[in-house]
A and B are shown apart, each in its own frame.
Chain A
Amino acid sequence: DVKVTQSSRYLVKRTGEKVFLECVQDMDHENMFWYRQDPGLGLRLIYFSYDVKMKEKGDIPEGYSVSREKKERFSLILESASTNQTSMYLCASSFFRRGELFFGEGSRLTVL
């Protein structure tokens, strides 16, 4: 079974802090994605990556950056957390570019 692991299930941070959300997949998937999910807004794509050291902006990249130094790991970085970044963050991966998508358990971030 594919396993996508997000390092933190719950985080509480203060405004202005730098936040790292880590995601690791164990199935040698080329493609990895970061989404945020908010009530009434659904899932929105933040960043994605089709290969190591490659990254592409999604629909809402402002205030975020990503890092993919190894194939299995895709990190989401909030350089200076703000209260409007309080959300559920979901990491996903797939083998093919438009293939079946597998999600992690999610990271619930609260910014105070």
Chain B
Amino acid sequence: KQEVTQIPAALSVPEGENLVLNCSFTDSAIYNLQWFRQDPGKGLTSLLLIQSSQREQTSGRLNASLDKSSGRSTLYIAASQPGDSATYLCAVYNAGNMLTFGGGTRLMVKP
């Protein structure tokens, strides 16, 4: 059974810092991996989707990488801003149409 882990569970950084969020998965036979952002009390917002054949995807200040062989994905946020404060979740689709979510990393960017 696929397990998805996000460490750390919480992270606090000063504004302007570049940071990396981690996502690990136990079964490397994935179809794709998606990163989401969730603000308190709200739904999830899709940030980036990486297909299993891709190594990375970029959107603005966000860059997500995927290393299937090591079971890892990272979300890089450049020049962090207080508005980036949120919980970030990754989710992995296996070939069997099963989607597994990580527990999330709660990010706080301090002005």
Contact = CB atoms under 8 A, between A and B. Distances in A.
B44 A90 contact: yes
B41 A103 contact: no
Nearest to A106: B43
> Max chain A CB contacts within 10 Å: which of B36, B99, B103?
B99
Contacts of B99: 45, 98, 101
Interface string A80-106: 000000001010100001111111111
Interface string B31-71: 11010100001111110010000000000000000000000
Interface in B14-37: 31-32, 34, 36
B101 interface: yes
B46 A90 contact: no
A38 B59 CA distance: 29
A108 B91 contact: no
B93 interface: yes
A98 B43 contact: no
A90 B42 CA distance: 9
A1 B66 CA distance: 26
A100 B103 contact: no
Given A90-B44, A100-B46, 20 more contacts: A6-B43, A42-B102, A42-B103, A42-B104, A43-B101, A90-B43, A92-B44, A98-B93, A98-B97, A98-B99, A99-B49, A100-B34, A101-B34, A101-B44, A101-B46, A101-B91, A103-B44, A103-B45, A106-B42, A108-B41
Interface of A: 4, 6, 42-43, 45, 88, 90, 92, 97-106, 108
23 contacts: A4-B43, A6-B43, A42-B102, A42-B103, A42-B104, A43-B89, A45-B99, A90-B44, A97-B97, A98-B31, A98-B93, A99-B49, A100-B34, A101-B34, A101-B46, A102-B46, A103-B36, A103-B43, A103-B44, A105-B42, A106-B42, A106-B43, A108-B41
